[in-house]
Amino acid sequence: MKKSKEKYEDHHVIFVAAEGYNWPENIIRVTVSDHKLIHQTLNIPYQKIRTFRMNTNHMVHKNSQEFIRELKKVHLAFFANLNKLPQRLQHQMRDSIRSQTLRIIREYKLELKTPDYDSDLFSWIRSFHYSLLLR
């Protein structure tokens, strides 16, 4: 049987333009074809990112409720088509968001109730946003 020679790339689950970190927890290793699929499926119009930047660049305190509200809009728009991806990619992304949330909670010593470990990405992203607000 022939071994697959498919190449792999790193993918930021929360993209840097929408406050994604360069943490290992935010980067998943995917095949080149999966990476293309993710970006084709979870495409977000440039104008939406530009609007987010214009609405939030003046904010000194990035953990303000107003900033988190704007950030949440961008994240939810980005993940709106998540269910169109294969489950294994959905799970990788969910696991990434969960790990990032738990890292913030740990680093800032927050007392925050989190979703069940295997809850969906959207439950974890709500917790992620709340942890950003409390940090």
Strand partners, 28: 11
Q: What is the pTM of this model?
A: 0.90
Could you tell me which residues come within 8 angstroms of residue 46 by beta carbon, excluding any fewer than 6 positions away?
A: none
Print pLDDT tens along the chain (135 aa).
556 688 999 999 999 888 899 999 999 999 999 999 999 999 888 888 888 988 888 886 777 899 999 999 999 999 999 999 999 999 999 999 999 999 999 999 999 999 999 999 999 999 999 999 999
Q: What is the largest CA-CA distance in the chain?
A: 57
